[in-house]
Amino acid sequence: MEIESGEAEIVAETAGEVELTTTAIEEDDVFDIDGREGPEAVLTLMQQGERDAWVDRAGWLQREAPDREQPAARASALLVVSELYAMAGEEEKAETVAREAVELAPSSPLAYRQLRGILMAKGSWTEVADALDAEARVAPTAGAKLHANCLGAEVARLTHGDADAATRRLDQAERASADDLRPQIARLTQRLASTDEVGEVAFRGDGAEALARACEVLKSIRSDGTEGELSDSPYAGLLSARAAVRKRDLPKAVAALTLLEQHDEFAPGAAWLTSALAAPHSELRDESVKALARVSEGSHGAMAVRAQALRAIETGDTDIAVDVANDAGERVISVAERLAIAGLTGERLNDLEEFLRRGVQVEAHAPLAAATAAVLTDPKSSAREVLDVGELQSRAAAALGRELAAAAQHPVVSTPSAVSSPPEPSGAGGASLDSAEMALAGAVVSAGSDDDDAPTMPPGPPDDEPARDSAASSPPSGPEGRSLEHLGLGMALRDRATELLEVDPVHGAARAVLLEHCFETKQVGRVAEALLESAELSGSLDRERAMASALLAEIAGNHDQMLIDVDRALTAAPGDEAVLRMSTTGAEPEAAASNLIHFAESLEDPTRIALAFTEAGLGLMEVEGEEAAGEALLRQAAEVQPEIPVAGFIGKYVTQAMGDTEGEQYWLDQQRSVATEPGDSVGIAVRQALSLSDEEKDVRAGLLEEAHRARPADYCLRELYEQAAGVTDDRAAWLSERVAAGGAGAGVMAL
């Protein structure tokens, strides 16, 4: 046959296509008709004006194909013709040509593939299944057989509903390639579609381990975290942690959160949550410290470091607390905080010299620095150094107190440099006072020493009092019997105190020395006079007399008389808190509560009134049968001053412990009504909802809805609200809105 010039180009192009087709058959699955574009190819050809040319080309190739005496060659050419017809939209011609190719080459897998691709487009699924079976029989490789059988199984399952046929084809696919994962995954998906239980599945092949882990994740997802081993999947970790928290299995929850920290995006939040869950439990507090250490370098590192030091102190691991404080630096832990940590941990004083020096230089931190230095040194040591903080008068009084304490334990007291070498007084008005104070402190020290120059005159009664017998003047034996008189702190010390009172009549240290002498010598009248000397300063002589008498009665062990005198003092000064406190010491709870109520009624400050009612209510709570009265006082305190949360918190926890649900709801309502921050109001509403019984589910749903409306982006609130109200139909829309809004973590929750 003579070929025209235009047809020569078609022959050349077709020869190349036939060569590609032959190569595809030899290389098995490269030329996959399943991926045909179908109508898109027709549309493209029509847009380009090439459709009719392609139809003509296909017709010419069909006419030029080898005759039927060469079946293999004709079948190969017809496959190209069929594909050209299909791309040009001539589906019937394409099917006819493909059927002829199958008839000519029944052992060609490509012929069956071409035919069933066209049949799929028509929806002739029965013929598609037959073609796939034939294709599987003649496929040259195991992979091609497996592909045809797997596809045939899906066709049987989805289009015919024939589960048995699908199973048979999957069996044939597994026989073709036992380790291929596709048949195994197909069986797993069928099982998951038919039952909620994942069950035990054994996989084969290279991906078996990954599929086994996926099954564990599926178990966790389908059981809401209660089943399945902890895997490295973040979602499984979240579910496991949530399920453990619901069951109050904190060790398991901490373990799940620790695994969740392996994922960078979850690590900070998981560590903070681990710390919060573990902190209240002593057996897990070490885990809390470790979790805080893992976020100490994060965006909230300063808070983590402080919390870590606090947890370490709580667990008694002072070394960790000190190491954390040393490594943090001043930008995280200030000098004052560093001194506080040192005082709580008993750190060595030598390691704090720089912090003590800098702390003393700041007026606000100086007392803390001095207290830290005092706590970390032995008060009995003669080498003890005391930081000079405050005015000379206060330091002298403090020195006197320290020496008195040391003298009560050791009859011989070494003279510290701070007392034996007092600083030179400055200022015209303060010279005599400073000298008198330092002389008093020196007398305390020297009177207890074995120095020959120290005054050793035995103590005796003043000239205006009769001498007592030896039995009365002898101090008792034992440590509790050591006194100023027993230690030889006699006339010289009293003289120094008297001289100091001439300069400052109300000097506390000097008055304390003389009162101590009067106590030891049983001069009760002198004690009363000394106490009553301050009556004019307070402006209430009756109160002072009654209080002095009450104190003396208490010292003498006369409890009844003390109560009588306290009642007198209360009558004279009903609004005096000092008298009130003395009246409650040792009193019965009912009497103490009554005094507190009368005290509150005499006040005008609502804050003090609320505190008094709170204290009275707490006292009655301890009396059997008076719990209701105690709670009533707490409610009264909350009504007087609702902005003070003390009564509210106490009332809530008391009613909760008593199982009084109605009372607990009252206190939660009270707290919610005075909450100023949205976060506080939301938290209280959630606690109130969770404390309700199942019979009050409508109220619970309303509270959770209120909390959710206040924080619409909070996923936990959303979930609680849905569980309470049964609202689930708009969850997908809600998640979509959060994803579109870019809410933190919305993408993960949507998945």
Residue 411 CA: distances (Å) to CA of 291, 484, 485: 52, 10, 11
The pLDDT value recorded for residue 133 is 82
* CB 689 within 8 Å of CB 704: yes
How much is the average pLDDT of 348-353? 66
Q: What is the DSSP letter of 476?
A: P
- Band of residue 26 on the pLDDT scale cut at 50, 70, 90: very low
The pLDDT value recorded for residue 482 is 42
The answer to whether residues 42 and 188 belong to one domain is yes
61-70, 259-268, 276-285, range with greatest mean pLDDT? 61-70
The pLDDT value recorded for residue 446 is 54
The pLDDT value recorded for residue 119 is 84
Query: pTM for the full model?
Result: 0.31
Question: How many domains is the chain built from?
Answer: 4
Encoded amino acid at 189, one letter:
T
- Band of residue 130 on the pLDDT scale cut at 50, 70, 90: confident
The answer to whether residues 603 and 724 belong to one domain is no
What are 135-181's pLDDT values in tens digits? 888 888 878 888 887 888 788 788 878 878 777 877 777 777 766 77
Find the CATH number of the domain harbouring 184.
1.25.40.10
Question: Does 581 reside within a domain?
Answer: no
The pLDDT value recorded for residue 452 is 40
The answer to whether residues 50 and 19 belong to one domain is yes
The pLDDT value recorded for residue 185 is 74
Q: Is the pLDDT of residue 104 over 80?
A: yes
Helices 606-621 + 627-640 axis angle, to 10: 170
How much is the average pLDDT of 640-655? 60
Q: What angle do CA 434, 439, 443 make, to 5 degrees?
A: 155
The answer to whether residues 20 and 87 belong to one domain is yes
Q: For residues 223 and 368, give the distance between their C-alpha atoms in angstroms, rounded to a whole number.
A: 56
The answer to whether residues 602 and 728 belong to one domain is no
Q: H or E stretch including 655?
A: helix 646-658
Boundary-marking domain end, from 502, 522, 542: 522
- Band of residue 192 on the pLDDT scale cut at 50, 70, 90: low
- Average pLDDT taken over every residue of the chain: 67
- Band of residue 525 on the pLDDT scale cut at 50, 70, 90: low
Six token digits for residue 411:
């009859």
The answer to whether residues 54 and 148 belong to one domain is yes
Question: Does 547 reside within a domain?
Answer: no
How much is the average pLDDT of 542-549? 73
Question: Does 186 reside within a domain?
Answer: yes
Residue 485 CA: distances (Å) to CA of 244, 405, 488, 685: 68, 15, 5, 66
Domain range enclosing 170: 5-192
Q: Is the pLDDT of residue 594 over 70?
A: yes
H-state helical runs in 675-730: 678-690, 697-710, 715-725
92-106, 336-350, 524-538, 736-750, range with greatest mean pLDDT? 92-106
Q: What's the longest Cα–Cα distance across the chain?
A: 160
The answer to whether residues 31 and 154 belong to one domain is yes
DSSP string spanning 99-135?
Answer: HHHHHH-TT-HHHHHHHHHHHHHHT-HHHHHHHHHHH
The answer to whether residues 625 and 680 belong to one domain is no
Boundary-marking domain end, from 491, 522, 553: 522
Q: Is the pLDDT of residue 393 over 70?
A: no
Residue 177 CA: distances (Å) to CA of 138, 172, 210: 16, 9, 19
Residue 458 CA: distances (Å) to CA of 151, 492, 499, 511, 519: 116, 10, 20, 21, 17
What are 319-339's pLDDT values in tens digits? 777 776 766 666 667 777 777
The answer to whether residues 180 and 67 belong to one domain is yes
Task: Please tell me whether residue 502 adopts helix, strand or coil conformation.
Answer: helix
Q: For residues 721 and 719, give the distance between their C-alpha atoms in angstroms, rounded to a whole number.
A: 5
Question: Does 58 reside within a domain?
Answer: yes
Backbone angles phi, psi at 588, to 5 degrees: -65, 150
Question: Does 294 reside within a domain?
Answer: no
Q: H or E stretch including 299?
A: none
Question: Does 317 reside within a domain?
Answer: no
Q: Is the pLDDT of residue 300 over 80?
A: no
How much is the average pLDDT of 688-694? 67
The answer to whether residues 464 and 598 belong to one domain is no
How much is the average pLDDT of 368-389? 68
Six token digits for residue 534:
């301050």
**Tokens 């902890």 sit at which residue?**
230
Boundary-marking domain end, from 467, 493, 522: 522
The pLDDT value recorded for residue 474 is 42
Question: Does 71 reside within a domain?
Answer: yes
Backbone angles phi, psi at 326, to 5 degrees: -70, -35
Question: Does 569 reside within a domain?
Answer: no
The answer to whether residues 150 and 33 belong to one domain is yes
Six token digits for residue 443:
């007398």
**pLDDT cut 90: percent of the chain above it:** 0
Q: H or E stretch including 267?
A: helix 267-278
How much is the average pLDDT of 434-451? 55
The answer to whether residues 104 and 184 belong to one domain is yes
How much is the average pLDDT of 251-259? 75
Q: Is the pLDDT of residue 430 over 50?
A: no
